[in-house]
Structure 1
Amino acid sequence: MSSVWSQKDRVAPIVEVRGLSIGFAGANGGKPIVTDFDLTVSPGECVALVGESGSGKSITARSLLNLAGEGARTAAHPFEIMGRDARSFGEADWRKLRGTVTGLVMQDALVSLDPLRTIGQEVAEVISSHRILTDPGAIRDRTLETLGKVGIPNPADRALQYAHQLSGGLRQRALIASAIAADPDLIIADEPTTSLDVTVQAQVLQVLAERIREGAGLLLISHDLAVVAGIADRVIVMRNGRVVDSGPTRDVLTHPRHPYTRQLIAAVPSGQSRGSRLASARFEPGAVDTTALAIVREPLPQRQAAGAVVLEVEGIAKSFTAPKAVGRTKSVVLQDISFDVRAGEVVGIVGESGSGKSTCAKIVLGLLPPDEGEVRLLGEPWSSVAEAGRRRLRRKLQYIPQDALSSFDPRYRVKDIVAENLPGSGSRGARRERIVSLLDLVGLNADYLDRLPRSLSGGQRQRVSIARALAAEPSIIVCDEPVSALDICIQAQVLDLLAELQSRLGTALLFISHDLGVIEHLCDRVLVFQNGRIVEQGATEDVLGRPQHAYTKSLLASVPDIQRGLRADVAAA
């Protein structure tokens, strides 16, 4: 590390900002997007920023790296990093700071990682460019050690792979490795565990916690309040660019003062929220102890009873051969997978990254052929026939992805995206009327018809994705992590929407998620995947409430929990 940064007494704050405002010329009616924001992060401390999308969390964190965006106007007094006045920094100062003093972990690893470099090269560049080490052998050893720290298996092999060759969870771990490779004083982590399963999430949080114990500061942006409870010392709640609540984590999460903070906490899905509208959740005085606050929710519509089988999966298996760079070894991804889904039923699939969940979904969708076994849709052959033979039934099986934006044609407007799945016949007026009715069904209106995807919020995009799926009047929809990237309030709205539509239309859902709280809230049955096999299955309340298999128990033990996190905080103190 440069001596410029190491001379400061480490007892002093790493970051101290008062009265921060951030704005852009011509945006937000000329008003700042972030107003009067105060932040202090000390060595060995974690401060968490929480709030809905658009509240100003990410742009606030980026301003600490001078990455708020082109044309950003930032003002604060003081604005100090490691005791130096950042307002006087030139670009060379900012470049020196990034990587050694501050490390940044973004949510979208696929966009953040260089597609032309292996992940080993990505991590090694941080070490070599800042001259942390100069010997090639030492750089390689440090690179592999760092990859192993964040839970990447076989780091020597994985270091030779590119981002597109890795699962979402492995990509995110590689990105975190590049952020901590130079042992920065401050780590800025923007939703670092959003795409990770609970076991890998626990590993990554343990790595971040270890860096905190070693004296680094952590600024964590997360919509997962259970994660925040387990690692943060203080919480700052933002809404519309302002701080509405702040204080020690225990105080904010157990005695929320602001109505918005209460809304965030009440909207967290769990087994207790099953059958209720998450977005309706609110705190009210308890019936017995009026000084205590209790969560009150409105009920969802009555569910239809499960009907006839719409999807049958029998004994499917799938293997892949690894790239030449890692030895052309054969990897078994799925083995003897069998289950069915009935009309009106929601079946969940859980398991850690690499357990075969997404591969199973691709086979069900007819995007990947199984090596063995068969999939039948509505009683007819599906996986064993060519696409031409599937075309007649294709509309009956739809898909809602995790990243709606990447599934849209960027040239298409909302009306074009939804129209993709409409039948070919009908007048232009009738088709427009049908599109408007579908948007209305998902809580949007005709004002959105001519909007482009990039002008929509994350929750609005996911609603358009749901409307597109419903346009085909499907019998079953495969949902692959459809709410994992959404903040708590938007997640609650989308889960309510899926539950309401599923109750009203009787459409079956095959729901893949690493969030066991979401599974408990939404699903009737659950399948637990491990190493390509189903190790436990049954009614959700049985599997997750009374697990029998050791792996299911380990998954549940890894799930972050608000109360468990706060209890651990007390024990540590």
Structure 2
Amino acid sequence: MRADVQDDAGGRPLLVDVQGLSIGFAPAGAPIVQGIDLAIQAGECVALVGESGSGKSLTARSLLNLAGDGARVEARRFRIRGQDARAFREVDWRWLRGTVTGLVMQDALVSLDPLRTIGQEVGEVLSEHRILRGRRAIDARVIEVLGRVGIPDPEIRARQYAHQLSGGLRQRALIASAIAGEPDLIIADEPTTSLDVTVQAQVLEVLAQRVRAGAGLLLISHDLAVVGGIADRVIVLRDGRVVDSGTTADVLTRPRHPYTRGLIDAIPSFASRGRRLGPASARSPDRIAPLRHPPPARDDTVVLEVRGIAKRYARPAGFGRRALATTALDDVSFDVRAGEVVGIVGESGSGKSTCARIVLGLLSPDSGTVRLLGEPWSRIRETERRRLRPRLQYIPQDALSSFDPRYRVSEIIAENLAGLRPAARAARTAELLEQVGLRDDLAGRYPRSLSGGQRQRVSIARALAAEPALIVCDEPVSALDIGIQAQVLDLLCDLRARLGTALLFISHDLGVIQHLADRVLVFHHGRLVEHGPVGEVLTTPADPYTRTLLASQPRLEYGLPRHAH
């Protein structure tokens, strides 16, 4: 099974050679993936891009025979490492996984076994496939691989469990698990989604190193800036079909299909400020809105006043550990005015979410104060907050987890419509759904039957139902594909302009902040290290940490990928 096939053009081993791939599920009708050709050489990165439901993950999983129960996979040619995979038995596929092909998933916390240590996870492929024999040899390789992917103190981390690591360390541990057996091909399915820019840059560099070492990489991503920085070739999928393909430079600078151009135009940045992102990539061209957003309604009324807030957490001593105190926030102050968008950026652990929880009144600061609409907010009991509570709303990253699964859409929105009679409540719900671009017939459906973009719009409708003065948005678009992200950002811009609602917007995506925010706050190790107008802070930063963030930001690069062969 290790026979190599040399590519006629480059002379490098052809790891994947698939032609006419179609994937469907019986007894459904038309295949979900139709007629896809895919070739990957050793030392090459090929990217699959497209919106949710385009068939990216299904195509990639078919290379591991993991397309799902009942999947019907057909192809004129399906060769992996020179072998006809159509004749593989299950034992052949098991051998392939981990030795020839490694898989990196999006959510490391879900992918890693919570009952096994990181060392056991990474060492599994070595022991199961008898790549190494003896516990000492396996442990040495595990520590070496953990160090190779940039995990500090690998001897200590190998004995820890997934929940004891940060998001970035978990993702690197997952990559270590995928490459421990030195596979020829790595499949990375959205490996950097929801990671902050510095950790994202570290994860991408680990993958790029494997490509430079001669491995093939199939990268699935909705982030074209990430793709532009690492991929050699790009394949654009839409509704299970290839609509564009070619070298990265060709696809990103000379896209042949309007859909590809729409994806590129939907990328938020400084250049897109004031411009609508969604119409170019919208699925309903007949409902294209005006190109530019109306100017926001703003005044100098201070909606939120934060003064000197601090929060510390103590870890008790025990099991050989010393007691430690961790500072999550240290002397943070800022204001938010009516109709203003204030962005918060920083790495994981910088204090962004702690700050949001204090602003929302879900956590009490150890020192400092928060005032909402000029009235005390942080130093009062919840019973005293109830009068003002509707004026402060929240849009989370994962809308589905914030909904009661027993509630229909109408009941979710009605949580903020107390006091209205049933007829008035139904009319107001229909009005809110229309405001966020949803049909009123969705009111009777459950959230699980909606798409990710629809659920996020329901979350926004629920927040708007209370007619808030301020909405705290905690990574509300980070898990959405580029087209749905564009639609949600357009919606927030429109609502802000029409209603004058202020936004406190937390994001790891600097492009989103550049597109949306008026001012930006930069958090680092719990401190506010820099703040000011977004055009100043994110173009001429004064603090070294802000410069590091900007240097780590992926940009749409039209030349050669960063990893030269």
Name the residue aligned to 1:126.
Answer: 125
CA contact (8 A) 1:143 1:181 kept: yes
User: For residues 80 and 507 of structure 1, do their structure 2 counterparts lie closer, same or farther at Cα, with a shift above 3 Å needed?
Assistant: same
Check conservation: 1:281, 1:298, Cα contact below 8 A. Answer: no
C-alpha distance after superposition, 1:308-342 (max 9, x if no partner): 11112221222234585793533222211111111
* Cα distance between partner residues in 1 of 2:324 and 2:158: 16
SS of the equivalent of 1:388 reads helix
Kept in 2: contact 1:21–1:35 (CA 8 A): yes
Tell me the residue number matched to 1:569.
561
Residue 194 of structure 1: CA displacement? 1.0
Are 1:23 and 1:32, in contact at CA under 8 Å, matched by a contact in 2? yes
Alpha-carbon displacement from aligned partner over 1:362-391 (angstroms, at most 9, x marks no partner):
222222222222222222222222333323
The equivalent of 2:383 in structure 1 is 388
Contact 2:15–2:42 (CA under 8 A) maintained in structure 1: yes
* Alignment partners' CA distance in 2, 1:176 and 1:368: 35
1:171 CA displacement? 3.2
Local SS of the residue matching 2:187 = strand
Is 1:492 the counterpart of 2:486 in the alignment?
yes
Question: What residue in structure 2 maps to residue 309 of structure 1?
Answer: 302
Which residue of 1 is the match for residue 498 of structure 2? 504
1:306/1:187 CA distance change after superposition, 3 Å: farther
2:547 counterpart (536, 553, 573): 553
Aligned position for 2:334: 339
Which residues in structure 2 correspond to 1:87-486 (within 5 Å)?
A: 87-281=86-280, 298-322=291-315, 327=321, 328-423=323-418, 425-486=419-480
* Alpha-carbon spacing, 1:492–1:391, altered in 2? closer, same or farther (3 Å): same
- Once residues 91 and 319 of structure 1 are traced to their aligned partners in structure 2, the CA distance between those partners, rounded to angstroms, is 52
Match of 2:24 in 1: 23
Aligned equivalents of 1:191 and 1:24: distance in 2? 24
Report the counterpart of residue 522 of structure 2 in structure 1. 528
More deviation, 302-311/322-331: 322-331
C-alpha contact 1:23 1:34 (8 A) present in aligned 2:
yes
* Cα distance change of structure 1 residues 380 and 125 upon mapping to structure 2, 3 Å threshold: farther
Deviations 1:106-151 (A, max 9, x none): 2222322223334343323333333333433443343344334434
| Equivalent pair of 2:212/2:564 in contact (CA under 8 Å) | no
Query: How far apart in 1 are the matches of 2:168 and 2:82?
Result: 36
Task: Give the direction of change, closer, same or farther, for the CA distance of 1:568–1:332 in structure 2 (3 Å limit).
Answer: farther
Quote the offset at 1:163 in angstroms: 3.4
The answer to whether the 8 Å contact 1:157/1:326 transfers is: no
Report the secondary structure of 1:436's partner residue: helix
Kindly indicate whether the alpha-carbon contact (under 8 Å) linking 2:236 and 2:243 is maintained by their aligned counterparts in 1. yes
Instruction: Give the counterpart letter for 1:506 in structure 2.
Output: G
Q: Deviations over 1:219-246 (max 9, x none)?
A: 0011111111111010000001100000
Specify whether residues 365 and 126 from structure 1 end up closer, same or farther in structure 2 by C-alpha distance, changes over 3 A only.
farther
**Residues 171-228 of structure 1, C-alpha deviations (whole Å, 9 max, x = no match):** 3333233222322211111111111111111111110001001111100011111111
* CA deviation after TM superposition for structure 1 residue 51, in Å: 0.7
* Structure 1 pair 224–329 and aligned structure 2 pair: CA distance change class (3 A): same
RMSD: 2.2
Q: What's the counterpart of residue 285 of structure 2?
A: none
What SS is found at the alignment partner of 2:171? helix
Aligned position for 1:286: none
Indicate if the aligned counterparts of 1:48 and 1:232 stay in contact, CA closer than 8 A.
yes
* TM score, norm. by length of structure 2: 0.92
In structure 1, the partner of 2:284 is none
Give the drift of 1:395: 1.8
Cα distance in 2 for residues equivalent to 1:533 and 1:164: 25
Report the count of equivalent residues.
551
| CA-to-aligned-CA distance 1:483-513 (integer Å, 9 cap, x gap) | 1111111111010001101111111111111
TM-superposed CA distance for 1:156, in Å, is 4.2
Give yes or no for contact 1:354–1:531 (8 Å, CA) kept in 2. Answer: yes
User: Paired residue for 1:285?
Assistant: none
SS in 1 for 2:444: coil
3-state SS of 1:107 partner: coil
- 8 Å CA contact 1:17, 1:78 repeated in 2: yes
Contact 1:281–1:297 (CA under 8 A) maintained in structure 2: no
Counterparts of 1:531 and 1:241, CA distance in 2: 44
Task: Tell me whether 1:8 sits opposite 2:4 in the alignment.
Answer: yes
Does the C-alpha gap of structure 1 residues 249 and 445 become closer, same or farther in structure 2, counting only changes over 3 Å? same
Q: d(CA) in 2 for partners of 1:126 and 1:363?
A: 44
Using the TM superposition, give the Cα deviation of residue 159 of structure 1 relative to its aligned residue in structure 2, in angstroms.
Answer: 4.1
Q: 1:361 to 1:325 in 2, by over 3 A?
A: farther
Distance 1:307 1:174, change over 3 A: farther
Task: Mark the runs of 5 or more structure 2 residues left unpaired by the alignment.
Answer: 7-11, 282-288
Asked whether the 8 Å contact 2:99–2:182 carries over to 1, the reply is yes
Secondary structure in structure 1 of the residue aligned to 2:67: coil
Q: CA deviation at 1:247?
A: 0.6
1:91 Cα offset (Å): 1.8
Secondary structure in 1 matching 2:329 = strand
Tell me how far apart the structure 2 counterparts of residues 476 and 46 of structure 1 sit (CA, whole Å). 44
Shift in alpha-carbon separation, 1:89–1:151, aligned structure 2, 3 A: same
Q: Is the 8 A contact 1:310 1:341 kept in 2?
A: yes
Range 388-397 or range 90-99, more displaced? 388-397
Query: Is the CA contact (8 Å cut-off) linking 2:171 and 2:203 kept in structure 1?
Result: no
AA matched with 2:213: E
- Alpha-carbon displacement from aligned partner over 1:19-58 (angstroms, at most 9, x marks no partner): 000011243xx00011000000111010000111111111
